[in-house]
Every structure is written in structure tokens, then in C-alpha cells.
Amino acid sequence: MSQSEGAIGTYEKWDFDEGTELEKREPRKAPKGALSPERAVALLYVLLALAFVLFTTLTIVSLQRVSAAWKVLEQARMRSENSHAMAWRNLSEVQRALDEQLSGKLKAIHGQLLNVSQEVENMRWKMTRCQAECGKELSDRLRVLEERDAPEPVLRQLAEVKQEQNRTLALLDAALEEARNLSEILCTRCPAGWQQFAKTCYFFSSAAIHWLAAKEHCTRFNAQLAVVNTEQENKFLANHIMENRVFWLGLTDMDKESNWQWVDGSSLTLTFWNSGEPNDAGHQGEDCATILPNGYWNDIPCAMPRTWICERSC
């Protein structure tokens, strides 16, 4: 009976192992409604392709919008630049017209001041002559009266007259000093052919020579190449430059590169250099300064022939 049970147990074990082996050999069927791995991979590829197409489309649309916005900004920038250029041109024309009107009025005023200055000079000369002659005559008469024997009242009157003479002479000296100052302000002693600005006379040449020769030429007239101290002076010089000419200034760095000095020994503090200047371009260098018709400065070789500007005090 034990063997029978053992036989039966052996049989049952063999039957179980065989069933397991058959399950391994036969593939399991997928549940109904589930995707196969091949279909899942294909579906994933389709989704990735759709995502790529969508991303590409969005990118193209964004680039088009950015391009359109950039185009609008560029058009706005161009309109702004055109408006700025037009406004600057209109402002320049208005400034030129005002300068011409102001120049005409200044010439008229200068002519009137010259007439007044001449009258002041004549009055000053007459006052000086009167001080010398009339004062001397009155002093001589007072001296003669003092030397005579005169009563006390007369001597007191003479003393009073002498005090009044001293007060008159003091007032006359003050008037002469004021007339002298006014004559200096009006500046009536500019040579013929020279232009006057403030208390300085300027000569604008028509010939062209190199910088050192221009400097020497100014020295002969007890003058120097123009030294610019104020913006108004620089504008005055530019307004007198015609026909797109270029004039030498009394400014150089020939002694030490980039150390610009005026001919009167003063250092350069106020500048009106053109854009990118001074650049010391060329093999020979550019060590002398010129002024352009627009009022800006440029450095060029000192040996180049240019017209020049001399200046001297009134």
C-alpha cells in the first residue's frame, strides 16, 4: 500500500512538471483589449512626430511674430532718426537765421558804439586838456592873489576857492578814469581789416601757409595765432569762416605728443574737437590744430598750407 501510494505520488509529480513545461513552451495570449508592444511603440512614434510638428509650427509662428515686431521697431527707429535729423536741420537753419540777424544787429550796434567811443575819446582829450590848462591858469591866479596883501575875508574866500578847485580836479580825474575804461571796453583801436570781438581784434587771412610761418606772420603784427578761451569766442571764429575753408589755431602738441598747448603757454582746458579727433593720423603725425567752418577742431600735419587767424588786444 505504501508502494501504491508512492507510485501514485510519483505519477502526480510527473504530471505537474509536464504541465509546467507546456506552459513555458506555449505563449500566453494577451488579454482582450490590450495593445501589443509593437503597436505601443508605433503609437509613441506617432505622438512624438505630432509633438515635433506642433513644436516646429509654434517656433515658425513665434519667429514670424518676432520678425514682424523687429520690423516695426526698425521702422520706428528709422522714423525717429529721420525726425531727429529733420529737427536738427530745422534747428540749424533757425540758428543760422538768428545768427545772421544777430550779426547784422551787432554790426549796427558796433557802428554806434564806435561813434560813441570816438565822442568819448574826444571828450576825454578835451577834459585832459582842460585839466592841464584851466587848472594851471586858476592855480596861477590864486597864487598871485595870495602873494598880495589882502584882508582876512578875501583870504578866506581864496581858501574856499582853492578847496573847490581841488574837489573839481578830483571829480575831473574820476571822470577821466571812467572815460578811459569806457574807451577800452568799446575797443576802437583794431587795425583796418581786423574783426573785433569783446576786447580782442582778429585777422582772418586769405592766403595759405604752414603753421610755423603763420605763427611768425602774427608775431610781426604784435599778435599771435588765435587762442580760444570761451565757447562764444569759438562760435565767433566759426561764423567768420566762409567757403568751407580751414584756419590754423594757436594750438599744437609738437613739443610733447598729446600734450596740447596754446601759443601763449596756457594749457588746453576747453575743447571743441571733431568726432574721433585728435587722432595723430599718418606717418608724419598731426601736431597742429585747425578750426572748421562748423566750429569743430581737427589736428593735421603742421607742414600743410592753411589759412590762419591772428588775434591781438585792442
Q: Where are the domains of the chain?
A: 97-186, 195-313
**What is the residue type of 261?**
Q
- Listed in sequence order, the residues at least 6 apart from 70 whose beta carbon sits closer than 8 Å to its beta carbon are none
Give whole-number Cα distances, 209 to 118, 195, 213, 254, in Å.
Answer: 37, 21, 6, 17
The set of cell numbers assigned to 9 is 505520488
Say if residues 196 and 233 touch (Cβ distance below 8 Å).
no
Percentage, residues of the chain above pLDDT 70: 62
The C-alpha cell 598731426 sits at 286
Say if residues 309 and 247 touch (Cβ distance below 8 Å).
yes
By CB neighbour count within 10 A (0-12 exposed, 13-18 middle, 19+ buried), where does 293 fall?
middle
Distance CA 305, CA 209 (A): 4
What number of other Cβ atoms are within 10 A of residue 260's Cβ?
Answer: 21
Percentage, residues of the chain above pLDDT 90: 33
Say if residues 296 and 274 touch (Cβ distance below 8 Å).
yes
pLDDT at 32 over 60: no
What kind and span of H or E run contains 261?
Answer: strand 261-262
More confident residue, 159 or 16: 159
User: Domain spanning 195-313: which CATH class is it, in words?
Assistant: alpha beta
**How sure is the predictor about 70, in pLDDT bands with cuts at 50, 70 and 90?**
confident
**In Å, how far from its chain's centre is CA 233?**
14
- pLDDT of res. 8: 46
Distance CA 296, CA 291 (A): 6
Least confident of 13-17, 163-167, 286-290: 13-17
What is the average pLDDT across 77-81? 80
Calculate the dihedral angle through the C-alpha atoms of 76, 82, 83, 89, rounding to the nearest 10 degrees.
170
The set of cell numbers assigned to 268 is 588746453
Helices (H), 187-304: 211-220, 231-239
- pLDDT of res. 259: 94
Distance CA 208, CA 223 (A): 18
Least confident of 143-147, 198-202, 205-209, 263-267: 143-147
Distance CA 119, CA 182 (A): 11
First to last CA, the chain: 155
- What predicted TM-score, i.e. pTM, was given to this entire model? 0.46
Beta pairing, strands 307-313 & 247-252: parallel
Say if residues 116 and 186 touch (Cβ distance below 8 Å).
yes
Q: Which of 109-123, 186-200, 214-228 has the highest mean pLDDT?
A: 214-228
**How sure is the predictor about 81, in pLDDT bands with cuts at 50, 70 and 90?**
confident
- pLDDT of res. 90: 73
